[in-house]
């Protein structure tokens, strides 16, 4: 984890003149996978891609491949082995039977989780300012913001002060308006159909 800081910085073959801000949000499937599709395309032109996955523990198919695919790709992650939920989002009758979820009053996230998330965000920022990254993907960042693991202002400051050539991609549901205002591109994944609703559980290789 967080091994990027020890990586050697290489010159890239192609540079973006101006990096834009992209947002993939909405309740339909495809946000994270679209971001990795973009990473794949960028790598094809020799761009350097830094991905940080929030709220995740590196247990997805993409994490198994990341270190093998290209030295211009780094995929970091930061998470804890439990989910967080705000009390007010969970109906009282469901609270007892939900497992592996830390249920908190809104605004009081687990401190250790917030500290860990902030540290990973800071490392990412240092990398981006020093490291000549062309595309930075912050996967599920808005979920981290929603659970107060990362102050929104930190994210806004980073977007506003990013290096000119760096494209930024933010994914996840519940994208805050302040980020939407700053975005150049927003794709709202709308759920039309998802097999989960028909009782098909998440499938390895497709959903994780």
Footprint of ligand ATP (CB under 6 A): 27-33, 140, 173, 189, 191, 194, 196, 202, 207-208
The minimum distance between CB 200 and ligand ATP, in angstroms, equals 9
Longest dimension (CA), the chain: 57
Q: Which CB atom, from 120 or from 131, has the smaller least distance to ligand ATP?
A: 120
Between 79 and 131, name the residue whose CB sits nearer to ligand ATP: 79
Tokens of 163: 């290096």
| Shortest Cβ 144–ligand ATP spacing (Å) | 12
Contacting residue, 22, 23, 26, 31, with Mg ion by CB under 5 A: 31
Compute the chain's Rg from CA coordinates: 17
CB 144 within 8 A of CB 56: no
Minimum distance from residue 85 beta carbon to ligand ATP (Å): 15
Which of residues 32, 53, 117, 166 is near Mg ion by CB under 5 A?
Answer: 32
Mark the segment that binds Mg ion (CB under 5 A) among 24-32, 49-57, 79-87, 179-187: 24-32
Q: Which does 173 bind (CB under 5 to 8 A by kind): Mg ion, ligand ATP, none?
A: ligand ATP
Strands 21-25 and 185-188: parallel
Give the nearer residue to ligand ATP in terms of CB position, either 48 or 56.
56
Q: Distance (Å, rounded) from C-alpha 115 to C-alpha 147?
A: 13
**135 and 167 in contact (C-beta within 8 Å)?**
yes
Q: 207: Cβ–Cβ under 8 A, 6 or more apart, which residues?
A: 29
Under 8 Å between Cβ of 20 and 167: yes
Residues contributing to the site for Mg ion (CB under 5 A): 31-32
């Amino acid at each position: 984890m967080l091994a990027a800081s020890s990586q050697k910085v290489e010159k890239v073959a192609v540079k973006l003149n101006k990096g834009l801000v992209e947002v993939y949000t909405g309740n339909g499937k495809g946000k994270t996978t679209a971001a990795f599709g973009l990473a794949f395309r960028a790598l094809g032109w020799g761009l350097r891609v830094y991905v940080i996955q929030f709220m995740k523990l590196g247990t997805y198919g993409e994490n198994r491949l990341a270190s093998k695919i290209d030295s211009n790709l780094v995929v970091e992650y930061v998470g804890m082995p439990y989910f967080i939920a705000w009390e007010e989002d969970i109906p009282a009758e469901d609270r007892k039977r939900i497992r592996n979820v830390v249920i908190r009053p809104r605004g009081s996230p687990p401190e250790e989780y917030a500290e860990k998330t902030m540290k990973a965000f800071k490392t990412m920022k240092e990398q981006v300012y020093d490291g000549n990254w062309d595309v930075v993907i912050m996967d599920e960042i808005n979920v981290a913001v929603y659970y107060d693991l990362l102050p929104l202002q930190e994210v806004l400051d980073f977007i506003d002060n990013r290096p000119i050539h760096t494209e930024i991609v933010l994914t996840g549901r519940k994208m805050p308006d302040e980020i939407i205002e700053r975005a150049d591109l927003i794709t709202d994944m709308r759920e039309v159909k998802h097999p989960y609703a028909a009782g098909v559980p998440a499938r390895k290789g497709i959903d994780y």
